[in-house]
Amino acid sequence: MKILENNFNKQNFRCVCALLFSMVFFSRADAAEFPASTADGYAIPQPGKQFSFPRDHGSHPDFAIEWWYITGHLFATNDAQFGFQATFFRRALMPPGATNSSASTAFGNDQIYLAHVALVDKTTGKFIYQEKLNRAGWDAASATNTLDVRNGNWSLRLAPEKIGGRERFELHGTVGLDAAFVLNLSPKKPMVIFGTNGVSRKAADVNAASHYLTYPRLATDGTLTLAGKKLAVTGEAWMDHEFSSSQLGAGQVGWDWLSVQLFDGRELMAYRMRRTDGATDPFSTVAWVDAQSVVRQIGPDKFDWKMLEHWHSAKSNSDYPSLVELTAENPVTGKKEHFIVRPFAADQELVGQAGGVGYWEGACHVWDESQKEIGRAYLELTGYSESLKGKL
């Protein structure tokens, strides 16, 4: 683990140096004052934070919001291909140190846990998902000293043994009685930290920021059970871990988020913070991750996000982008690269029956301008059914 920590520290230094020339609009983040906490007592991400693992894989209850996000692509021996999502959310109901006189405090009403598991079949386009919402306690919990989060019979844990000196994660999930999976996730590349000096800004308001830790490419293997038939699967996954006390600023309604795993060994992460008039907020970004896991980020003056087609959801009466073109300047070459993102299926919407927040999250193809497939992706679209302001 000490070797990993040293690698991460060196990686962070290289990333910060590479960002300086291209992140002029983010200089406001360094100039701004970052208060230690919000008005109601939740922690605010601080520049220069020194991360320590496995502790920082775990929960950070001094922050209001936290999530562990796994998305990926699975391949079975019968040529079947699937996209999967497993997300564990933690939401604080009271700030650190607050007390509640209710007798139910012993049952964990200081934290609630929402979780989503989804699966899409590329061949048939069938999309299935399930949500769970539980209070902290018997049915849901997250450790603070390591990665060990669960919600019902779903769990994500750091395995005790390593593979080739690198960490391994274990993911267990089900979708009702329709599907179940047990997956091993092992990093193929070092962790990356998005943002500037350890802080990922989402808005001009310094409260709207997060610590954003990502494994952009994990080797994945395990079993997927469908209709009682067990399939051996392999593939690749993307793992996000974010913790913050606010994700939106004034005038923002939601975001479009994209993770791309290119066949040439690079990855891209994009988030387009969407304003009430549909405009792209200045604190939006595209992060390029090269084959050595060096991160270089660009602002919205250097990328263009076009929604070419839309899909209407009869369930939520919402219109979502169903074909996206991202044109972004490569910060190394200075040339523009084009990424056309089309979902495996139009309907990959999670309507938010348990948590009350609906969004679209789906597995996608990635093509270049010549319609050549160059990678795979996951696309997330929030704030289309209703504004997320005041909810995150």
pLDDT the model gives residue 49: 95
Give every CB contact of residue 96 below 8 A, 6+ residues apart in sequence.
41, 42, 43, 61, 62
CA dist 370 and 364 (Å) reads 17
Flag whether 232 is in a domain.
yes
- Out of 24-33, 68-77, 362-371, pick the least confident: 24-33
CA dist 246 and 243 (Å) reads 9
CA dist 273 and 35 (Å) reads 23
- Taking alpha carbons only, the member of 287, 302, 300, 115 closest to residue 213 is 287
What is the tally of structural domains in the chain?
Answer: 1
pLDDT the model gives residue 265: 97
DSSP, res 144: S
Flag whether 53 is in a domain.
no
pLDDT category, 387, cuts 50, 70, 90? low
Residue 177 belongs to domain spanning: 2-34+64-95+109-382
The better pLDDT of the pair 15, 290 is held by 290
pTM of the model: 0.89
pLDDT the model gives residue 10: 41
pLDDT in tens, 183-193: 999 999 999 99
pLDDT the model gives residue 95: 87
Flag whether 8 is in a domain.
yes
Instruction: Give backbone dihedrals phi and psi of 161, rounded to 5 degrees, phi first.
Output: -105, 150
Cβ-contact 85, 116 below 8 angstroms:
yes
pLDDT in tens, 293-336: 999 999 999 999 999 999 999 999 999 999 999 999 999 999 99
DSSP secondary structure string for all residues of 188-204: SS--EEESBTTBEE-SS
Flag whether 104 is in a domain.
no
CA dist 315 and 334 (Å) reads 43
pLDDT the model gives residue 355: 66
Peptide bond into 216 cis (omega under 30): no
Flag whether 102 is in a domain.
no
Is the pLDDT score of 269 beyond 60? yes
Flag whether 10 is in a domain.
yes
* Mean pLDDT across 98-110: 59
Rounded CA Rg of the chain: 20
Flag whether 362 is in a domain.
yes
pLDDT in tens, 338-360: 999 999 999 999 997 776 788 99
**CATH number for position 335:** 2.40.370.10
User: Mean pLDDT, the chain, as a whole number?
Assistant: 89
Flag whether 388 is in a domain.
no
The better pLDDT of the pair 33, 264 is held by 264
